[in-house]
Structure 1
Protein backbone atom coordinates (compact mmCIF):
# COMPACT_ATOMS: atom_id res chain seq x y z
CA UNK A 1 0.00 0.00 0.00
CA UNK A 2 1.36 3.43 -1.00
CA UNK A 3 1.60 6.13 1.67
CA UNK A 4 0.69 9.53 0.26
CA UNK A 5 0.87 12.95 1.91
CA UNK A 6 -1.50 15.66 0.67
CA UNK A 7 -0.51 19.19 1.62
CA UNK A 8 -3.44 21.56 1.94
CA UNK A 9 -5.52 18.43 2.41
CA UNK A 10 -8.40 20.28 4.08
CA UNK A 11 -8.79 22.80 1.25
CA UNK A 12 -11.21 22.86 -1.66
CA UNK A 13 -9.01 20.72 -3.91
CA UNK A 14 -6.90 18.84 -1.36
CA UNK A 15 -9.93 17.48 0.47
CA UNK A 16 -11.27 15.91 -2.72
CA UNK A 17 -7.86 14.50 -3.68
CA UNK A 18 -7.61 12.92 -0.21
CA UNK A 19 -11.05 11.33 -0.54
CA UNK A 20 -10.22 9.81 -3.90
CA UNK A 21 -6.88 8.40 -2.80
CA UNK A 22 -8.35 6.88 0.34
CA UNK A 23 -11.17 5.36 -1.70
CA UNK A 24 -8.45 3.73 -3.80
CA UNK A 25 -7.02 2.02 -0.73
CA UNK A 26 -4.02 4.27 -0.12
CA UNK A 27 -2.76 5.35 3.28
CA UNK A 28 -3.23 9.12 3.07
CA UNK A 29 -1.89 11.73 5.48
CA UNK A 30 -3.37 15.22 5.49
CA UNK A 31 -1.02 18.09 6.20
CA UNK A 32 -2.34 21.56 6.97
CA UNK A 33 -1.70 24.22 9.56
CA UNK A 34 -4.58 23.19 11.80
CA UNK A 35 -5.24 19.51 11.04
CA UNK A 36 -3.90 17.02 13.58
CA UNK A 37 -1.89 14.85 13.74
CA UNK A 38 0.07 16.61 10.97
CA UNK A 39 -0.58 20.26 11.81
CA UNK A 40 2.40 21.95 10.15
CA UNK A 41 3.00 25.43 8.77
CA UNK A 42 5.05 24.68 5.66
CA UNK A 43 6.54 28.16 5.77
CA UNK A 44 8.23 27.23 9.05
CA UNK A 45 9.09 23.55 8.33
CA UNK A 46 10.62 21.89 11.38
CA UNK A 47 10.40 18.50 13.04
CA UNK A 48 6.67 18.27 12.46
CA UNK A 49 7.24 18.22 8.71
CA UNK A 50 9.84 15.48 9.01
CA UNK A 51 7.40 13.44 11.10
CA UNK A 52 4.63 13.90 8.55
CA UNK A 53 6.89 12.70 5.72
CA UNK A 54 8.40 9.69 7.47
CA UNK A 55 7.63 6.61 5.37
CA UNK A 56 5.81 8.62 2.66
CA UNK A 57 6.20 7.51 -0.95
CA UNK A 58 4.34 10.32 -2.77
CA UNK A 59 3.47 13.93 -1.95
CA UNK A 60 0.61 15.82 -3.60
CA UNK A 61 1.32 19.50 -3.02
CA UNK A 62 -1.97 21.42 -3.02
CA UNK A 63 -1.19 23.93 -0.23
CA UNK A 64 -1.04 27.52 -1.48
CA UNK A 65 -1.81 31.07 -0.40
CA UNK A 66 -1.98 34.39 -2.18
CA UNK A 67 -0.63 36.08 0.95
CA UNK A 68 2.95 35.05 0.20
CA UNK A 69 5.27 32.30 1.29
CA UNK A 70 4.62 29.63 -1.34
CA UNK A 71 8.24 29.50 -2.48
CA UNK A 72 9.53 29.14 1.07
CA UNK A 73 6.91 26.46 1.78
CA UNK A 74 7.91 24.51 -1.33
CA UNK A 75 11.59 24.75 -0.49
CA UNK A 76 10.95 23.42 3.03
CA UNK A 77 8.75 20.63 1.70
CA UNK A 78 11.29 19.57 -0.93
CA UNK A 79 14.16 19.52 1.55
CA UNK A 80 12.16 17.38 3.97
CA UNK A 81 10.97 15.10 1.14
CA UNK A 82 14.58 14.47 0.14
CA UNK A 83 15.49 13.57 3.72
CA UNK A 84 12.51 11.20 3.90
CA UNK A 85 13.30 9.45 0.61
CA UNK A 86 10.06 10.51 -1.13
CA UNK A 87 10.03 9.22 -4.70
CA UNK A 88 7.26 11.30 -6.31
CA UNK A 89 6.18 14.93 -5.86
CA UNK A 90 2.97 16.00 -7.61
CA UNK A 91 2.27 19.74 -7.90
CA UNK A 92 -0.89 21.54 -9.01
CA UNK A 93 -0.25 24.78 -10.89
CA UNK A 94 -2.25 27.17 -13.07
CA UNK A 95 -2.53 27.48 -16.84
CA UNK A 96 -0.73 30.63 -17.97
CA UNK A 97 1.77 31.05 -15.14
CA UNK A 98 4.46 31.49 -17.78
CA UNK A 99 2.41 33.93 -19.87
CA UNK A 100 0.50 36.18 -17.44
CA UNK A 101 2.67 38.60 -15.38
CA UNK A 102 0.50 38.43 -12.27
CA UNK A 103 2.39 38.24 -8.98
CA UNK A 104 0.68 35.06 -7.79
CA UNK A 105 1.22 33.41 -11.18
CA UNK A 106 4.92 34.26 -11.07
CA UNK A 107 5.11 32.62 -7.65
CA UNK A 108 3.44 29.46 -8.96
CA UNK A 109 5.93 29.37 -11.85
CA UNK A 110 8.82 29.74 -9.40
CA UNK A 111 7.48 26.81 -7.38
CA UNK A 112 7.23 24.75 -10.57
CA UNK A 113 10.94 25.41 -11.13
CA UNK A 114 11.76 24.33 -7.57
CA UNK A 115 9.82 21.11 -8.13
CA UNK A 116 11.55 20.43 -11.45
CA UNK A 117 15.01 21.02 -9.95
CA UNK A 118 14.27 19.17 -6.70
CA UNK A 119 16.07 15.98 -7.62
CA UNK A 120 12.85 14.09 -6.85
CA UNK A 121 10.62 12.32 -9.32
CA UNK A 122 8.02 14.95 -10.18
CA UNK A 123 4.75 15.66 -11.95
CA UNK A 124 3.23 19.10 -12.61
CA UNK A 125 -0.37 19.63 -13.71
CA UNK A 126 -1.63 23.06 -14.75
CA UNK A 127 -5.39 23.67 -14.61
CA UNK A 128 -7.62 26.62 -15.44
CA UNK A 129 -9.66 28.44 -12.80
CA UNK A 130 -12.16 26.43 -10.78
CA UNK A 131 -15.89 27.14 -11.03
CA UNK A 132 -15.83 27.92 -7.30
CA UNK A 133 -13.31 30.75 -7.72
CA UNK A 134 -15.16 32.29 -10.65
CA UNK A 135 -18.37 32.33 -8.59
CA UNK A 136 -16.52 33.87 -5.65
CA UNK A 137 -15.21 36.70 -7.84
CA UNK A 138 -18.58 37.27 -9.51
CA UNK A 139 -20.32 37.29 -6.13
CA UNK A 140 -18.06 40.11 -4.97
CA UNK A 141 -18.61 42.07 -8.19
CA UNK A 142 -22.39 41.64 -7.91
CA UNK A 143 -22.51 43.39 -4.53
CA UNK A 144 -22.62 46.71 -6.37
CA UNK A 145 -25.67 47.94 -8.31
CA UNK A 146 -23.62 47.70 -11.51
CA UNK A 147 -21.37 44.73 -12.29
CA UNK A 148 -18.13 46.13 -13.70
CA UNK A 149 -16.18 43.63 -15.79
CA UNK A 150 -12.85 43.80 -17.62
CA UNK A 151 -13.68 44.26 -21.29
CA UNK A 152 -12.74 41.50 -23.76
CA UNK A 153 -11.91 39.10 -20.92
CA UNK A 154 -12.60 35.38 -21.22
CA UNK A 155 -12.26 32.40 -18.94
CA UNK A 156 -12.35 28.60 -19.11
CA UNK A 157 -13.61 27.41 -15.70
CA UNK A 158 -13.13 23.77 -14.77
CA UNK A 159 -14.81 21.57 -12.15
CA UNK A 160 -12.58 21.13 -9.10
CA UNK A 161 -13.73 17.52 -8.62
CA UNK A 162 -12.48 16.67 -12.11
CA UNK A 163 -9.09 18.19 -11.33
CA UNK A 164 -9.03 16.13 -8.12
CA UNK A 165 -9.70 12.99 -10.17
CA UNK A 166 -6.76 13.80 -12.42
CA UNK A 167 -4.40 14.61 -9.54
CA UNK A 168 -5.28 11.37 -7.77
CA UNK A 169 -4.63 9.47 -11.00
CA UNK A 170 -1.24 11.14 -11.38
CA UNK A 171 -0.35 10.47 -7.73
CA UNK A 172 -1.03 6.76 -8.24
CA UNK A 173 1.29 6.63 -11.24
CA UNK A 174 4.98 7.15 -11.88
CA UNK A 175 6.55 10.62 -12.14
CA UNK A 176 5.53 12.09 -15.49
CA UNK A 177 7.09 15.57 -15.61
CA UNK A 178 4.94 18.35 -17.01
CA UNK A 179 1.70 16.71 -18.14
CA UNK A 180 -0.93 18.13 -20.49
CA UNK A 181 -2.87 21.13 -19.22
CA UNK A 182 -6.41 20.65 -17.96
CA UNK A 183 -9.04 23.18 -19.02
CA UNK A 184 -12.78 23.47 -18.61
CA UNK A 185 -15.11 22.43 -21.44
CA UNK A 186 -15.82 25.95 -22.71
CA UNK A 187 -13.95 29.19 -23.29
CA UNK A 188 -16.48 31.84 -22.26
CA UNK A 189 -16.62 35.61 -22.23
CA UNK A 190 -16.53 36.92 -18.70
CA UNK A 191 -19.76 38.76 -19.44
CA UNK A 192 -21.57 35.52 -20.29
CA UNK A 193 -20.33 33.96 -17.04
CA UNK A 194 -21.48 37.00 -15.07
CA UNK A 195 -24.95 36.96 -16.64
CA UNK A 196 -25.30 33.23 -15.97
CA UNK A 197 -24.34 33.85 -12.34
CA UNK A 198 -26.87 36.67 -12.02
CA UNK A 199 -29.64 34.46 -13.41
CA UNK A 200 -28.73 31.59 -11.10
CA UNK A 201 -28.68 33.82 -8.01
CA UNK A 202 -31.81 35.76 -8.95
CA UNK A 203 -30.08 39.14 -9.03
CA UNK A 204 -30.87 41.98 -11.37
CA UNK A 205 -27.82 44.05 -12.19
CA UNK A 206 -26.58 46.09 -15.10
CA UNK A 207 -23.38 44.66 -16.58
CA UNK A 208 -20.77 47.07 -17.91
CA UNK A 209 -17.51 46.10 -19.63
CA UNK A 210 -14.64 48.42 -18.74
CA UNK A 211 -11.40 48.54 -20.78
CA UNK A 212 -8.33 48.27 -18.57
CA UNK A 213 -4.62 48.89 -19.09
CA UNK A 214 -1.40 47.16 -18.14
CA UNK A 215 0.61 44.07 -19.02
CA UNK A 216 -1.45 41.71 -16.90
CA UNK A 217 -4.74 42.79 -18.46
CA UNK A 218 -3.27 42.50 -21.96
CA UNK A 219 -2.08 38.98 -21.18
CA UNK A 220 -5.52 37.94 -19.91
CA UNK A 221 -7.20 39.61 -22.89
CA UNK A 222 -4.87 37.68 -25.20
CA UNK A 223 -5.94 34.42 -23.56
CA UNK A 224 -2.67 33.61 -21.84
CA UNK A 225 -4.60 31.83 -19.07
CA UNK A 226 -6.64 29.67 -21.47
CA UNK A 227 -5.99 26.25 -22.96
CA UNK A 228 -8.63 25.69 -25.64
CA UNK A 229 -6.65 22.80 -27.07
CA UNK A 230 -7.05 20.95 -23.76
CA UNK A 231 -10.74 21.54 -23.01
CA UNK A 232 -11.01 18.15 -21.32
CA UNK A 233 -13.35 19.15 -18.48
CA UNK A 234 -16.92 17.92 -18.73
CA UNK A 235 -19.03 19.91 -16.30
CA UNK A 236 -20.17 23.30 -17.63
CA UNK A 237 -20.50 26.49 -15.63
CA UNK A 238 -24.31 26.36 -15.91
CA UNK A 239 -24.36 22.80 -14.56
CA UNK A 240 -22.23 23.90 -11.61
CA UNK A 241 -24.53 26.87 -10.96
CA UNK A 242 -27.64 24.69 -11.16
CA UNK A 243 -26.34 22.39 -8.44
CA UNK A 244 -25.04 25.15 -6.22
CA UNK A 245 -27.93 27.60 -6.49
CA UNK A 246 -30.80 25.44 -7.73
CA UNK A 247 -31.20 27.40 -10.94
CA UNK A 248 -31.67 26.23 -14.50
CA UNK A 249 -29.10 25.56 -17.17
CA UNK A 250 -30.62 27.82 -19.82
CA UNK A 251 -29.40 31.14 -21.10
CA UNK A 252 -27.40 32.38 -24.00
CA UNK A 253 -23.66 31.77 -23.97
CA UNK A 254 -21.07 34.01 -25.48
Structure 2
Protein backbone atom coordinates (compact mmCIF):
# COMPACT_ATOMS: atom_id res chain seq x y z
CA UNK A 1 0.00 0.00 0.00
CA UNK A 2 1.25 3.53 -0.76
CA UNK A 3 1.93 6.10 1.92
CA UNK A 4 -0.94 7.95 3.58
CA UNK A 5 -0.06 11.19 1.80
CA UNK A 6 -0.21 9.74 -1.71
CA UNK A 7 -3.19 9.18 -4.00
CA UNK A 8 -5.27 6.08 -3.32
CA UNK A 9 -6.15 4.35 -6.58
CA UNK A 10 -9.25 2.19 -6.33
CA UNK A 11 -10.60 -0.17 -8.96
CA UNK A 12 -14.38 -0.59 -8.62
CA UNK A 13 -15.61 -3.58 -10.63
CA UNK A 14 -19.36 -4.12 -10.77
CA UNK A 15 -20.84 -7.49 -11.75
CA UNK A 16 -23.92 -6.72 -13.85
CA UNK A 17 -25.44 -10.15 -13.22
CA UNK A 18 -25.55 -9.48 -9.48
CA UNK A 19 -26.66 -5.87 -9.94
CA UNK A 20 -29.62 -6.98 -12.06
CA UNK A 21 -30.85 -9.26 -9.26
CA UNK A 22 -30.22 -6.64 -6.58
CA UNK A 23 -32.12 -3.95 -8.46
CA UNK A 24 -34.98 -6.34 -9.17
CA UNK A 25 -35.26 -7.14 -5.47
CA UNK A 26 -35.24 -3.54 -4.24
CA UNK A 27 -37.54 -2.32 -7.00
CA UNK A 28 -40.21 -5.03 -6.90
CA UNK A 29 -40.05 -6.78 -3.54
CA UNK A 30 -38.42 -4.45 -1.01
CA UNK A 31 -40.18 -1.57 0.74
CA UNK A 32 -37.86 0.95 -0.95
CA UNK A 33 -39.26 0.23 -4.46
CA UNK A 34 -36.22 1.83 -6.02
CA UNK A 35 -32.97 1.07 -7.86
CA UNK A 36 -29.41 1.72 -6.80
CA UNK A 37 -28.02 5.11 -7.70
CA UNK A 38 -24.65 4.60 -9.41
CA UNK A 39 -23.27 8.00 -8.44
CA UNK A 40 -24.20 7.57 -4.80
CA UNK A 41 -22.82 4.03 -4.79
CA UNK A 42 -19.47 5.28 -6.05
CA UNK A 43 -19.43 7.96 -3.38
CA UNK A 44 -20.11 5.40 -0.67
CA UNK A 45 -17.32 3.15 -1.97
CA UNK A 46 -14.88 6.06 -2.00
CA UNK A 47 -15.67 7.03 1.59
CA UNK A 48 -15.65 3.46 2.90
CA UNK A 49 -12.31 2.55 1.33
CA UNK A 50 -10.71 5.67 2.80
CA UNK A 51 -11.90 4.72 6.28
CA UNK A 52 -11.05 1.03 5.87
CA UNK A 53 -7.43 1.71 4.99
CA UNK A 54 -6.98 4.72 7.26
CA UNK A 55 -6.68 7.22 4.42
CA UNK A 56 -9.25 9.84 5.43
CA UNK A 57 -8.82 13.07 3.55
CA UNK A 58 -6.52 11.72 0.85
CA UNK A 59 -7.23 11.98 -2.86
CA UNK A 60 -9.04 8.92 -4.22
CA UNK A 61 -8.95 8.01 -7.90
CA UNK A 62 -11.82 5.65 -8.66
CA UNK A 63 -11.51 3.48 -11.77
CA UNK A 64 -15.06 2.20 -12.31
CA UNK A 65 -16.09 -0.66 -14.60
CA UNK A 66 -19.43 -2.37 -15.19
CA UNK A 67 -19.59 -5.86 -16.73
CA UNK A 68 -22.88 -6.65 -18.39
CA UNK A 69 -23.92 -10.33 -18.49
CA UNK A 70 -25.40 -9.95 -21.98
CA UNK A 71 -23.97 -9.07 -25.35
CA UNK A 72 -24.45 -5.61 -26.81
CA UNK A 73 -26.97 -6.33 -29.54
CA UNK A 74 -29.59 -8.26 -27.60
CA UNK A 75 -30.78 -8.49 -23.99
CA UNK A 76 -33.35 -11.13 -23.10
CA UNK A 77 -34.20 -9.34 -19.85
CA UNK A 78 -34.62 -5.85 -21.29
CA UNK A 79 -36.31 -5.81 -24.73
CA UNK A 80 -34.43 -3.89 -27.37
CA UNK A 81 -37.59 -2.08 -28.51
CA UNK A 82 -37.67 -0.31 -25.14
CA UNK A 83 -33.97 0.60 -25.38
CA UNK A 84 -33.38 -0.83 -21.91
CA UNK A 85 -29.69 -1.39 -22.54
CA UNK A 86 -29.24 2.11 -23.91
CA UNK A 87 -30.85 3.67 -20.84
CA UNK A 88 -28.74 1.58 -18.49
CA UNK A 89 -25.56 2.35 -20.38
CA UNK A 90 -26.34 6.07 -20.33
CA UNK A 91 -26.89 6.02 -16.56
CA UNK A 92 -23.64 4.15 -16.03
CA UNK A 93 -21.63 6.43 -18.29
CA UNK A 94 -23.05 9.54 -16.63
CA UNK A 95 -21.91 8.09 -13.31
CA UNK A 96 -18.41 7.52 -14.68
CA UNK A 97 -18.51 3.77 -15.36
CA UNK A 98 -16.93 2.13 -18.37
CA UNK A 99 -19.37 -0.47 -19.70
CA UNK A 100 -18.19 -3.88 -20.90
CA UNK A 101 -20.60 -6.21 -22.71
CA UNK A 102 -20.26 -9.96 -22.74
CA UNK A 103 -18.95 -11.99 -25.66
CA UNK A 104 -21.62 -13.62 -27.81
CA UNK A 105 -20.63 -17.18 -26.89
CA UNK A 106 -20.49 -16.46 -23.15
CA UNK A 107 -23.71 -14.42 -23.12
CA UNK A 108 -25.73 -17.53 -24.02
CA UNK A 109 -24.71 -19.13 -20.70
CA UNK A 110 -26.79 -16.59 -18.72
CA UNK A 111 -24.14 -16.01 -16.09
CA UNK A 112 -21.69 -13.32 -15.01
CA UNK A 113 -19.29 -11.73 -17.46
CA UNK A 114 -15.99 -13.51 -16.81
CA UNK A 115 -13.93 -10.90 -18.63
CA UNK A 116 -14.08 -9.00 -15.34
CA UNK A 117 -11.56 -11.39 -13.78
CA UNK A 118 -8.90 -10.90 -16.44
CA UNK A 119 -9.35 -7.14 -16.63
CA UNK A 120 -9.22 -6.72 -12.85
CA UNK A 121 -6.08 -8.84 -12.62
CA UNK A 122 -4.33 -6.84 -15.34
CA UNK A 123 -5.10 -3.57 -13.56
CA UNK A 124 -3.54 -5.01 -10.41
CA UNK A 125 -0.59 -6.67 -12.16
CA UNK A 126 0.46 -3.47 -13.92
CA UNK A 127 0.05 -1.45 -10.70
CA UNK A 128 -2.79 0.69 -12.00
CA UNK A 129 -4.74 0.27 -8.75
CA UNK A 130 -3.88 -0.06 -5.04
CA UNK A 131 -7.18 -1.63 -3.93
CA UNK A 132 -9.86 -3.55 -5.80
CA UNK A 133 -13.55 -3.38 -4.87
CA UNK A 134 -15.82 -6.05 -6.34
CA UNK A 135 -19.60 -5.90 -6.15
CA UNK A 136 -20.75 -9.45 -6.76
CA UNK A 137 -22.27 -12.56 -5.22
CA UNK A 138 -21.07 -15.04 -7.83
CA UNK A 139 -18.74 -17.95 -7.08
CA UNK A 140 -17.36 -17.83 -10.62
CA UNK A 141 -15.19 -14.94 -9.42
CA UNK A 142 -13.67 -16.89 -6.51
CA UNK A 143 -10.31 -17.22 -8.28
CA UNK A 144 -9.83 -13.43 -8.34
CA UNK A 145 -8.94 -12.76 -4.66
CA UNK A 146 -6.04 -15.24 -4.71
CA UNK A 147 -4.67 -13.85 -7.97
CA UNK A 148 -4.81 -10.32 -6.58
CA UNK A 149 -3.10 -11.42 -3.39
CA UNK A 150 -0.12 -12.71 -5.38
CA UNK A 151 0.48 -9.23 -6.79
CA UNK A 152 -0.10 -7.48 -3.46
CA UNK A 153 -3.49 -5.89 -4.12
CA UNK A 154 -6.17 -6.33 -1.41
CA UNK A 155 -9.78 -6.96 -2.40
CA UNK A 156 -12.95 -5.68 -0.78
CA UNK A 157 -16.07 -7.69 -1.62
CA UNK A 158 -19.51 -6.06 -1.56
CA UNK A 159 -21.98 -8.93 -1.20
CA UNK A 160 -25.75 -9.19 -0.87
CA UNK A 161 -27.94 -11.67 1.00
CA UNK A 162 -31.72 -11.43 0.82
CA UNK A 163 -34.86 -13.48 0.29
CA UNK A 164 -38.37 -12.70 -0.89
CA UNK A 165 -41.63 -14.24 -2.05
CA UNK A 166 -42.19 -14.40 -5.81
CA UNK A 167 -45.64 -15.80 -6.35
CA UNK A 168 -45.74 -19.06 -4.45
CA UNK A 169 -41.96 -19.45 -4.52
CA UNK A 170 -39.50 -18.42 -1.82
CA UNK A 171 -36.38 -16.95 -3.44
CA UNK A 172 -33.06 -16.96 -1.58
CA UNK A 173 -30.15 -14.89 -2.91
CA UNK A 174 -26.81 -15.40 -1.20
CA UNK A 175 -23.18 -14.39 -1.67
CA UNK A 176 -21.08 -17.40 -2.59
CA UNK A 177 -19.37 -18.66 0.57
CA UNK A 178 -16.08 -19.44 -1.19
CA UNK A 179 -15.84 -15.98 -2.73
CA UNK A 180 -16.62 -14.42 0.63
CA UNK A 181 -14.04 -16.45 2.56
CA UNK A 182 -11.25 -15.81 0.06
CA UNK A 183 -11.81 -12.06 -0.10
CA UNK A 184 -9.63 -10.02 2.24
CA UNK A 185 -12.50 -7.75 3.26
CA UNK A 186 -16.26 -8.18 3.11
CA UNK A 187 -19.25 -5.86 3.50
CA UNK A 188 -22.84 -7.10 3.86
CA UNK A 189 -24.46 -4.55 1.57
CA UNK A 190 -28.01 -5.51 2.53
CA UNK A 191 -27.24 -4.10 5.98
CA UNK A 192 -25.66 -0.96 4.54
CA UNK A 193 -28.66 -0.39 2.26
CA UNK A 194 -31.06 -0.24 5.20
CA UNK A 195 -29.15 2.77 6.54
CA UNK A 196 -29.70 4.76 3.34
CA UNK A 197 -33.41 4.69 2.41
CA UNK A 198 -34.44 6.88 -0.54
CA UNK A 199 -35.40 10.17 1.12
CA UNK A 200 -35.26 13.70 -0.23
CA UNK A 201 -34.13 15.06 3.13
CA UNK A 202 -31.27 12.56 3.51
CA UNK A 203 -27.69 13.83 3.26
CA UNK A 204 -26.76 10.65 1.37
CA UNK A 205 -28.73 8.09 -0.60
CA UNK A 206 -27.79 4.77 -2.14
CA UNK A 207 -31.02 4.61 -4.12
CA UNK A 208 -32.77 6.71 -6.71
CA UNK A 209 -35.69 8.72 -5.40
CA UNK A 210 -39.02 7.14 -6.42
CA UNK A 211 -41.03 9.14 -8.92
CA UNK A 212 -43.65 9.94 -6.27
CA UNK A 213 -41.06 11.96 -4.38
CA UNK A 214 -40.53 14.17 -7.41
CA UNK A 215 -44.24 14.90 -7.79
CA UNK A 216 -45.25 18.54 -8.08
CA UNK A 217 -48.64 17.88 -6.48
CA UNK A 218 -47.57 19.20 -3.10
CA UNK A 219 -46.12 22.30 -4.72
CA UNK A 220 -49.37 22.92 -6.59
CA UNK A 221 -51.37 22.58 -3.37
CA UNK A 222 -49.09 25.08 -1.66
CA UNK A 223 -49.44 27.54 -4.54
CA UNK A 224 -53.24 27.24 -4.40
CA UNK A 225 -53.15 27.89 -0.66
CA UNK A 226 -51.07 31.03 -1.15
CA UNK A 227 -53.41 32.27 -3.87
CA UNK A 228 -56.39 31.83 -1.56
CA UNK A 229 -54.64 33.82 1.16
CA UNK A 230 -53.86 36.63 -1.27
CA UNK A 231 -57.45 36.66 -2.52
CA UNK A 232 -58.81 36.87 1.03
CA UNK A 233 -56.57 39.86 1.75
CA UNK A 234 -57.88 41.63 -1.32
CA UNK A 235 -61.53 41.21 -0.27
CA UNK A 236 -63.22 43.35 2.46
CA UNK A 237 -64.41 41.66 5.61
CA UNK A 238 -68.08 40.55 5.37
CA UNK A 239 -69.15 42.64 8.36
CA UNK A 240 -67.72 45.82 6.87
CA UNK A 241 -70.40 48.28 5.76
CA UNK A 242 -70.65 49.51 2.21
CA UNK A 243 -69.11 52.88 3.10
CA UNK A 244 -66.02 51.25 4.62
CA UNK A 245 -62.93 51.86 2.59
CA UNK A 246 -60.50 48.99 2.06
CA UNK A 247 -56.98 49.69 0.89
CA UNK A 248 -54.20 47.32 0.04
CA UNK A 249 -50.93 47.59 1.87
CA UNK A 250 -48.05 48.92 -0.26
CA UNK A 251 -46.55 45.43 -0.39
CA UNK A 252 -49.77 43.84 -1.61
CA UNK A 253 -50.34 46.67 -4.04
CA UNK A 254 -47.01 45.94 -5.70
CA UNK A 255 -48.07 42.31 -6.08
CA UNK A 256 -51.17 43.45 -7.95
TM-score, with length taken from structure 1:
0.35
| Larger-gyration structure (1/2) | 2
Q: TM-score, normalised by structure 2?
A: 0.35
